[in-house]
Amino acid sequence: MLRQGHTVSGEILSRELGVSRVSIWKHIKDLKERGYDIVASPKGYDLGSSPDALFPWEFPDREEKIHYFPNVDSTMDIAREMAVKGCPGFTVIIAGQQEKGRGRLKRIWHSQQGGLYFTVVLRPDIPLILSHRVSFLASVTLAETLRGLFKIDAKVKWPNDILVNEKKISGMLSEMEAETDRVKYINLGLGINVNNDPKVFEPSSTSIAEINGRPVMRKEILEEFLNQFEAGMNTDHLNNAVNNWKKYTVTLNRHVKIVTNNKTSEGMARDIDENGALILELSDGSMQKIIYGDCFHV
Ligand code: BTN
């Protein structure tokens, strides 16, 4: 009601919401403590600026499916619990910061205030073999979202990192459960360096604020990404995801080193197959298909 842009009296708020004037006053106080600039006058309340908050009510079209936690161990843990209990597709778990943020291959994802950390629970009706296309679609969608919002040259690095000027701005982790050959849920966790400074932990990383020269609104990024991603989660887009990913990649035709838990392979990254595996040309000219690993451009 305050967002309508004019003064709203305490009396109207109390009547419309069916709560006492004292309760309205307490809620206004609570919102002010959360950073909302609300000015009280004899005529009522006026909303000035809103903070860059990720509360469910900041996403009116999807409010019931947004769950915000100021501080958690990892949004992946909460997402898994909710997915197992049967939450609907496109339930989103957001954290202000994470104590035990997880990266790929058992790495830590440092998650200080100012970054955007969330996991989306997806329930695509697809066979297991196609599940990788979902993360490729998400990478393309995020790269396009950042390009569109901030006019930055966001690129994708195999498998699902986003880089700007060769520096990492975002990473993705996916966890899933399948039954026989059908996907039950896929939890996609994204960590995006927005207004945080990731360089203290990862010298080869950057943030949107650094590139942009000023802080930006995380909720705009999340809203745009979710809208585009939800609209794109259909068969046509999934079938084109890997080809679209190739449009933005910095990995192909580069000399790369791929490190897994127990093996390192080196060669020229020649292609990505239809399910996202990297085709590596080794020094003897043979081709090797890599399904997972950490990719270093050398
Ligand atoms: C990587 O690049 O290694 C993947 C990083 C994924 C980080 C995100 S932050 C939100 C979600 N919760 C986690 O614990 N990890 C993912």
CA distance 158 to 245: 9
Taking CA atoms only, the protein residue closest to ligand 1 atom 2 is: 171
The pTM of this model reads: 0.94
Atom number, ligand 1, closest to the C-alpha of residue 73:
14
Choose which residue among 99, 102, 116, 194 to substitute to test ligand 1 binding: the one with the highest number of ligand atoms within 8 A of its C-beta: 102
32 CA distance to ligand 1 centroid (A)? 31
> How much is the mean pLDDT over the chain?
95
- Identify the residue whose tokens are 């945080």: 196
Q: Binning pLDDT at 50, 70 and 90, where does residue 180 land?
A: confident
Secondary structure (H, E, C), 234-288? CHHHHHHHHHHHHHCECCCCCEEEEECCCCEEEEEEEEECCCCCEEEECCCCCEE
173 CA distance to ligand 1 centroid (A)? 5
Superfamily name and number for 56-247: Bira Bifunctional Protein; Domain 2 (3.30.930.10)
Could you say which DSSP state residue 130 is in? Answer: G
Atom number, ligand 1, closest to the C-alpha of residue 107:
3
Is 115 near ligand 1, meaning CB less than 6 Å away? no
Is 107 near ligand 1, meaning CB less than 6 Å away? yes
Taking CA atoms only, the protein residue closest to ligand 1 atom 3 is: 103
CA distance 162 to 175: 19
Of 91, 190, 88, 85, the closest CA to residue 145 belongs to 190
Query: Above 90 in pLDDT, residue 105?
Result: no
- The dotted CATH code for 255-297 is 2.30.30.100
- The dotted CATH code for 2-49 is 1.10.10.10
The residue ranges of every structural domain in the chain are: 2-49, 56-247, 255-297
Query: Above 90 in pLDDT, residue 13?
Result: yes
**157 phi/psi in degrees, rounded to 5:** -115, 135
For residue 235, the one-letter residue type is: T
Q: Binning pLDDT at 50, 70 and 90, where does residue 106 land?
A: confident
Whether 190 and 211 have beta carbons less than 8 Å apart is answered as no
Averaged pLDDT for residues 30-47: 96
